[in-house]
Structure 1
Amino acid sequence: MQSILQQQCEELAGRRYPLHMPGHKRRVPPAPGLSCYAFDLTEIEGADDLHDADGILADAMARTAALYGSDRCWYLVGGSTVGLLAGIRAAAPFGSEVLVARNCHKAVYHAIELGHLTAHYLVPPVVPDFGVYGSMPPAAVAAALDAHPAVACVILTSPTYEGVQSDLSAIADLCHARGVPLLVDEAHGAHYLPLARPYGWRGGAVEAGADLVVQSAHKTLPSLTQTAWLHLQGSRIDAAAVERELDVFETSSPSYPLLASLDGCTTWLQTHGDTAFAAWRQRLDRFAAAARGWRHTPVLGLGAEGQGFYDFDNGKILLRIGREGAAFLRAAGFEPEMVCGPNVLAMTSPCDDEDALDRLAEVLTRWDAGASAAPAAEALLPPPGPARCTIADALRRPACLRPLAEAVGAVAAEYVWAYPPGVPLLAPGEEVTPAFSEAVTALTAAGTALHHTGAGADGKLAVLG
């Protein structure tokens, strides 16, 4: 017997092929642990305890750590979000300073807010043809470390939501030479592990030497939604502090089906990973070969704009085809992961159907033949305005609503972002700039819904009064 919600979800799932997460792609379960009733347990005798693991869960987490080459691995049932909240709290004492990439997920900003941290932003260059962030230059990190020697840690995102990677090995060396730990949000790079190297994926943040690495197994691998890993290396961040913060931020009743799907994903990688990654690479290479013949359908990483990247994961297919192109994909039976401004993101995984990307290429070839020109890349990512106070301070002070045009020059009292990807266009405590106003206008005109976390909406913004 099915619930109404299950019926509705299954109806939606059956309409179009998923070019979005989760990575298992709703196929016949490719990994053990994706059907759950028989083992939906609690912390009974013999089942171990995620918050004090010394039995079967400890063994499972040790298997995953060995697969990735980390010193410790914690299973997360609150997504990468809980790993970021706990990891940043463990690495950065209350009220301290951090260096943080401006393209980090909103969970990073929430950790900054809760810890009353002072954030010094690292702003990656923007790729003009797509209006997305490129790789973080190591020289920029070095300069920021010199300018802010008291920071408790450095927080970066690599790969980005769109698949752009940074030179984490060089950045880790820079951080460690100054005694500063590096925390990497690798939520979209759980498939970056040693066995993937022969098939074109660089070693990930663990191999690069990052101190804490957060990965969402569910995004690109066969694991249930909400499952993630947190890896620790070295002694710059105290493992006991990480465990304490996980006890604060993660549920005290973790789901054993979710935990089992993480161990099942590990088993699948150990037994089928080589074959699956080889086939995935072949599918992606065939798609890229077709895409190079298109005249009006830009693909991130395949054109001249990719030359400024340290590296790019073409398992993410970012297309500049706008909302009309997204509608064309849906009419042809594909559901994309994201539509934001002129960009449409298709996510692939090692669990895709063998012919899925061939069919996608055929659909996009038809689109390209009928398209006159690609939509222009808008000013999607305004540079952050000057920080006038910390995020926590801004959220505690009295605020008022102003029309967007009249808010320029004031100090923001709320976050504004498009979701996905959940990267703030504006954070509390920042000065509202003309560039932000222009970006909001362009995104709204393109049909992108923007999320406000305060009272702002309908052309108004919450600012400090």
Structure 2
Amino acid sequence: MNTPLYHALRALSQKHTARFHMPGHKGKDVLPDFGPILPLDFTEVYETGNLYTGEGPIRQAEEQAARFYHAPDCHFLTGGSTQGIHTMLYAAAGAGADVLFDRNCHKSAAHAAAMLDLSPAFVFPKTIEPFGIPGLLCPDEIDRALSQNPSIRAVLVTSPNYYGVRQDIPAIAAVCHAHGAKLLVDAAHGAHFPAVGLPSPIEEGADLAALSAHKTLYALGQSAMLLSGGTIDSDRLREGASLFGTSSPSYAMMVSLDLARDALEQDDSYQKAAEAVHALRLHLAEHTKFRPLTGHDLDPCRLTVSTAGTDWTGDKLADTLYERFGVACEMSDARNMVCIVTPADLGDNLDRLREALDTLSREVQQTVLPAPLPPLPVPRPALSVRRALLGNASTLFLDDVQPGMVCARPVTPYPPGVPVLWPGEEITAEHIVFLRNQCYNTIDRISVYQP
């Protein structure tokens, strides 16, 4: 095992030092089911290293992760990719900057825009029908947006997205760099890519990328990594991570990052998981009424199954899988159900999922496909994101919302899984009609800014 942090903390725990420092459990077996973890749960003391100063076994573990992802540098995070997104925007753009956002970005990007007082512009992904989900961004549209606003310092895109769709990062990176902008990638769902033969965003030309190891690896919840292409000052990145993260980062999380990365290098189990997902996609397409997402540049370990063209919603499919078969999906919406697959699912879990979908397919009835989603209304900025999100707000029923009001929180119906409104945007009659007609089952209230 090539796990410098794990080995250092394990050796330290075996010294049986009298720990007159935090955490309060002192490494003793004082909580049920936590016994093996607590001895490795330290703080910044002798021989443990310090996350925010980049030293000791933590730094050695980060270097091993950078090597694995073919990136010049890596920083561990204990606040998930949310901390990574905040840090990337802080380091690459800075306060008051203009930033181009993939409209499919995570809500943490809106929070960063408020905290850093960023001015957003947007590029919209194309919709994949009949799934009604966000697909590819057009590099030419990014080029036009950057040409129209040369002051944009950074571009933030999501790849892969929740449904497994991967963006053309090399093409987008080339466009960004031609305009002198940094490319930041929210790759929260792609930490496993090297284990299935896919490059990291840094290998594809991105300047920074945030990876949620806890989403697809064996790491503990909130464990994440920030990969750097070497174009952003490392001290600035650590400063940002410290600014947006806890001053008491979890050593248990960091050890899990070290071990999870090492596990990726030990065997081909993730490749076997990808092959199992491929086989299941083929099976569902040929033998059920459900429609698996295929034919796109996808995460090979993500299974997106659509109920479009049947009398069931994706939400009903997910709920039934759980209630009748004990199968818990990652998420669902009006048209789709999404499963995250890792090697831990090989065998029984995937067999149960396939058998359950076979059974339920015999119960659903085929119907006509839903009409394609109309284009989203054009955004109309009215206030800064900072003022709208951090100011006073009220939650109103959709029937009480009037044109001319200003949105205070992101409004993101599924489908399309893309914000119809962002904080600071004027709510128009077109927005209200869109939400009533397309999202009547999912959006019935909106937070509006109160002057």
The TM-score, its normalising length taken from structure 1, stands at 0.81
Contact map agreement 1:98 1:117 (CA 8 A) in 2: yes
2:193 match: secondary structure? coil
> Contact 2:278–2:300 at 8 Å: present in 1 too?
no
| Structural mapping, 1:382-461, within 5 Å | 382-383=376-377, 385-395=379-389, 403-405=397-399, 406-417=401-412, 424-434=419-429, 436-438=431-433, 440-441=435-436, 445-446=440-441, 448=442, 459=445, 461=447
Alignment map for 1:52-91 (pairs within 5 Å): 52-91=53-92
State the match for 1:223 in structure 2. Answer: 219
Could you say which residue in structure 2 is the equivalent of 1:271?
A: 266
Look up the SS of the partner of 2:247 in the other structure: coil
Q: Distance in 2 between matches of 1:38 and 1:418?
A: 44
**1:111 aligned partner, one-letter code:** A
Between the aligned partners of 1:371 and 1:401, the Cα distance in structure 2 is 37
Deviation at residue 241 of structure 1 after TM alignment = 1.1
Match of 1:213 in 2: 209
Partner amino acid, structure 1, of 2:219: S
Distance in 1 of aligned mates of 2:290 and 2:430: 27
Q: 1:76, 1:461 → 2: CA distance?
A: 31
Separation in structure 1 between the aligned mates of residue 251 and residue 286 of structure 2, nearest angstrom: 47
Shift, 1:152, TM fit: 0.9
- CA distance in 2 between counterparts of 1:459 and 1:117 reads 26
How many residue pairs get aligned? The number is: 409
Q: CA deviation at 1:192?
A: 1.5
Amino acid of the structure 2 residue aligned with 1:337: E
Partner of 1:196: 196
Matched residue, 2:304 = 318
Q: Identify the match of residue 230 of structure 2 among 212, 229, 234.
A: 234
How far apart, in 1, do the equivalents of 2:35 and 2:125 lie?
A: 38
Amino acid at match of 1:160: N
Instruction: Please identify, of 396-405 and 291-300, the stretch whose mean Cα deviation from structure 2 is larger.
Output: 396-405
CA–CA distance in structure 2, aligned partners of residues 401 and 106 of structure 1: 18
Contact 1:391 1:429 in 2 (8 A): yes
2:351 alignment partner in structure 1: 358
Question: Conserved in 2, the CA contact under 8 Å of 1:105 and 1:423?
Answer: no
Offset at 1:444? 6.2
Deviates more, 1:46-55 or 1:325-334: 325-334
Q: Which residue of 1 aligns with 2:18?
A: none
- Once the two structures are overlaid, the 10-residue window that deviates more, 371-380 or 287-296, is 371-380
One-letter identity of the residue aligned with 1:224: L
Is 1:152 aligned to residue 127 of structure 2? no
* Structure 1: runs of 5+ lacking an equivalent: 1-32, 451-457
- State the shift of 1:291 in Å: 1.2
Distance change (3 Å), C-alpha of 1:355 and 1:52? same
Contact in 1 for aligned 2:288/2:358 (Cα 8 Å): no
Distance 1:422 1:228, change over 3 A: farther
Do the aligned partners of 2:412 and 2:421 also contact (CA within 8 Å) in 1? Answer: yes
**Could you tell me which residue of structure 1 aligns to residue 335 of structure 2?**
342
- SS of the aligned residue for 1:152 comes to strand
Please say which of residues 143-152 and 180-189 is displaced more in the overlay: 143-152
User: CA 1:381 to 1:244, structure 2 compared with 1: closer, same or farther past 3 Å?
Assistant: farther
Residue 295 of structure 1: how far off its partner (Å) = 5.2
Q: Give CA deviations for 1:381-402 in whole Å, capped at 9, x if unaligned.
A: 8445222232113346665665
Q: Contact 1:131 / 1:380 at 8 angstroms: preserved in 2?
A: no
Q: Which whole-Å CA distance do the structure 1 matches of 2:327 and 2:422 have between them?
A: 34
Alpha-carbon distance between aligned partners in 2 of 1:131 and 1:414, rounded to the nearest angstrom: 22
Q: In the TM superposition, what is the alpha-carbon distance from 1:285 to its structure 2 partner?
A: 2.5
Query: Aligned residue for 1:123?
Result: 124
Q: Distance in 1 between matches of 2:137 and 2:126?
A: 7
Q: Tell me, yes or no, if structure 1 residue 289 matches structure 2 residue 285.
A: no
Q: SS state of the match for residue 426, structure 2?
A: coil
Is 1:299 aligned to residue 292 of structure 2? yes
Contact 1:94 1:116 in 2 (8 A): yes
How far has the Cα of 1:437 moved from its partner?
3.1
Q: Distance in 2 between matches of 1:141 and 1:115?
A: 22
SS at match of 1:139: helix
Shift of 1:373: 2.0
Query: Would the aligned equivalents of 1:342 and 1:376 in 2 still touch at CA under 8 Å?
Result: no
> What displacement does 1:287 show?
0.5
When residues 108 and 269 of structure 1 are mapped into structure 2, their CA distance, relative to the original with a 3 A threshold, is same
Q: Which amino acid counterpart does residue 136 of structure 2 have in structure 1?
A: S
Q: Following TM superposition, by how much is the alpha carbon of 1:143 offset from its aligned partner in structure 2, in angstroms?
A: 1.3
Deviation at 1:438, TM superposition (A): 4.7
In 1, the alpha carbon distance for the partners of 2:213 and 2:73 equals 16
Whether the aligned pair in 2 keeps the contact of 1:220 and 1:350 (CA below 8 Å) is no
Letter in 2 for 1:71: P
Q: Distance in 1 between matches of 2:71 and 2:391?
A: 42
Change (3 A) 1:206 1:353: same
State the identity %.
33
Greater relative contact order: 1 or 2 (C-alpha under 8 angstroms, separation 6 or more)? 1
Q: Distance in 2 between matches of 1:459 and 1:285?
A: 39
| Matching residue's letter, 2:43 | T
Q: Verify the 8 A CA contact 1:384 1:430 in the aligned structure 2.
A: no
Rg: which structure is higher?
A: 2
